[in-house]
Structure 1
Amino acid sequence: MAKLIYLTNVSLDGYIEDERGVFAWFPPDDEVFAFTTDLLRSVGTLLYGRRLYESMAVWETDAALAARSDLTADFATAWQAPDKVVYSTGLAAVSTANTRIERDFDPAAVRQLKATASSDLTVGGANLAAQAFKAGLVDECQLFVWPLAVGGGKPGLPTGMRTDLELLDERRFRNGTLYLRYRC
């Protein structure tokens, strides 16, 4: 059975976006970027909320991003390879290949997807991830904790529920970012 992994960037105070809804507050770092690309290579399916999907789709729809460097070209290739499922009630169409829209998050369907997948899945977007956590579907939580505090915004982990985590792996990057991998 494949694992469902929640993989996200968070500020040191636990937010994935600030109070204005901005999530591009962490500075680019080649070492972290290359590590993230390597993690993405093992994923067969990306489960996204609409907003995160629209932000990430540029890795397929904007060729100029991949042309910036070998690192960005590598990430674009790794991002385009997996299947993508976008959970949205309002999105009319997708702009990327290997992508389908689901109108509602169905825990039973995700359990079936995990049971039949040949490689791991990730879930992205805090609201979608919270639904997956509450349904008991998340097997691992992988956080990139950036060395800054944004002071408020959207929490990176679900609120209103307890989740016990077991540390499986950690890595410290030169820029002070921490990678933490937990079993849920």
Structure 2
Amino acid sequence: MADLILQIAVSLDGYIEDEKGSIDFMAGDTSLDAVHTATLRSIDGMIFGRKAHALLAAFWPSAGRTAGASAALSEQAELMNTLPKYVLTHGEERTGWANSHAVTTEDVAGLKLRAKRPIAVYAGAGAAQALMGQIDEICLIQYPVLLGSGTRLFDDGIRRDLALMESRAFASGVVLQCYRVGQVSVRTPSGRRRRI
């Protein structure tokens, strides 16, 4: 069974976008090009939330073909456009981006069984939270900015113990932190925590 890996950018205070839905806090940082390219080379597919898929579908089909595009951007565009893309949805989702398919959270278990290599989750907060019970690794790309408000990646939900696998700092101040997801701990009616 393949691992499901959540890889997502966050601010230092845990937001994936500001209160206006902007992700410009990470714009223009090329220090992670090698990380993104290596990830794309190592996966069998990608899962997105509906909103994230729409944003990326507007960018990647023509990315890498513009004058002055870097070799890294061109390779990433090729991989983004050819790898299978799964849009997490409750209904039928129409997509115009090549090799995109609508899936439900229940379908993801089957994707993990069929995949030979990991599947990356590049989703919004809602989709990431919906898949939390199936995610095997969390890789946070933490930017050195405090947004103060916006959309948090994690809500006040179930506790999950994590084991640090990798931590790497970049000259830009960005820190990549990858964790293995451990056991789940839930609060019982008496207020105690119990592992399941």
- 2: distance between equivalents of 1:112 and 1:89? 16
Q: State the match for 1:110 in structure 2.
A: 108
Percent identical: 32
**2:161 is the alignment partner of 1:164:** yes
- 1: distance between equivalents of 2:75 and 2:61? 15
Q: How many positions carry a matched residue from both structures?
A: 179
Q: Deviations over 1:90-141 (max 9, x none)?
A: 7752111111123x432xx2112111211111122211110111xx200000
The alpha-carbon deviation at position 72 of structure 1 amounts to 1.3
TM-score, normalising length from structure 1? 0.88
Does structure 2 retain, via aligned residues, the 8 Å contact 1:59–1:65? Answer: no
Does structure 1 retain, via aligned residues, the 8 Å contact 2:11–2:146? Answer: yes
Does structure 1 retain, via aligned residues, the 8 Å contact 2:64–2:73? Answer: no
SS at match of 1:165: strand
The alpha-carbon deviation at position 83 of structure 1 amounts to 0.6
Q: Which has the larger radius of gyration?
A: 2
**2:122 is the alignment partner of 1:121:** no
Q: State the match for 1:69 in structure 2.
A: 70
SS at match of 1:160: coil
Unaligned runs of 5+ in 2: 182-196
SS at match of 2:129: helix
- 1: distance between equivalents of 2:13 and 2:112? 31
The alpha-carbon deviation at position 33 of structure 1 amounts to 2.4
- 1: distance between equivalents of 2:118 and 2:49? 18
The alpha-carbon deviation at position 59 of structure 1 amounts to 4.3
- 1: distance between equivalents of 2:169 and 2:87? 32
Q: State the match for 2:58 in structure 1.
A: 58
Where does 1:12-51 land on structure 2 (aligned, <5 Å)? 12-51=12-51
Does structure 1 retain, via aligned residues, the 8 Å contact 2:61–2:81? Answer: no
Does structure 2 retain, via aligned residues, the 8 Å contact 1:30–1:71? Answer: no
SS at match of 1:95: coil
TM-score, normalising length from structure 2? 0.83
- 2: distance between equivalents of 1:66 and 1:166? 41
The alpha-carbon deviation at position 53 of structure 1 amounts to 0.4
